[in-house]
Amino acid sequence: MSIQVLDKTFVPYLSEQEIQNRINQLALQISKDFEGKNPLFIGILNGSFMFASDLYKDISIPSTISFIKLVSYKGTSSSGTVITSIGLEEDLSDRHVIIVEDIVDTGKTMSSFIPSLQKLQPASVTICTLLHKPDALQFPLTLDYIGFVIPDKFVVGYGLDYDGYGRNFREIFQIKQPS
Task: Give the active site residues.
Answer: 105
Q: For residue 15, is it left (φ>0), alpha (ψ between -120 and 50) or beta? A: beta
172 contacts ligand 5GP (rule: CB under 6 A): no
Interacting span for ligand 5GP (CB under 6 A) from 4-12, 19-27, 97-105, 114-122: 97-105
The number of residues making up the chain comes to 179
With CB under 6 A as the contact rule, the residue among 55, 97, 155, 172 that binds ligand 5GP is: 155
Tell me the C-alpha distance between 140 and 145, whole Å: 16
Least distance to ligand 5GP from the beta carbon of 138, Å?
A: 8
Least distance to ligand 5GP from the beta carbon of 95, Å?
A: 23
With CB under 6 A as the contact rule, the residue among 156, 158, 169, 172 that binds ligand 5GP is: 156
Cβ-based nearer residue to ligand 5GP, 128 or 156: 156
Interface map 104-133 toward ligand 5GP (x if CB under 6 A): xxxxxx------------------------
Cβ-based nearer residue to ligand 5GP, 135 or 154: 154
Tell me the C-alpha distance between 147 and 19, whole Å: 8
Return phi, psi of residue 37, to 5°.
Answer: -105, 0
Question: On the CB side of 93, how many CA atoms lie within 13 Å of its CA?
Answer: 0
Do residues 101 and 110 lie in contact, with contact meaning Cβ atoms separated by under 8 Å? yes
Element (DSSP H or E) covering residue 26 = helix 16-33
Where does this chain bind ligand 5GP (CB under 6 A)? Answer: 47, 102-109, 154-156, 160-162
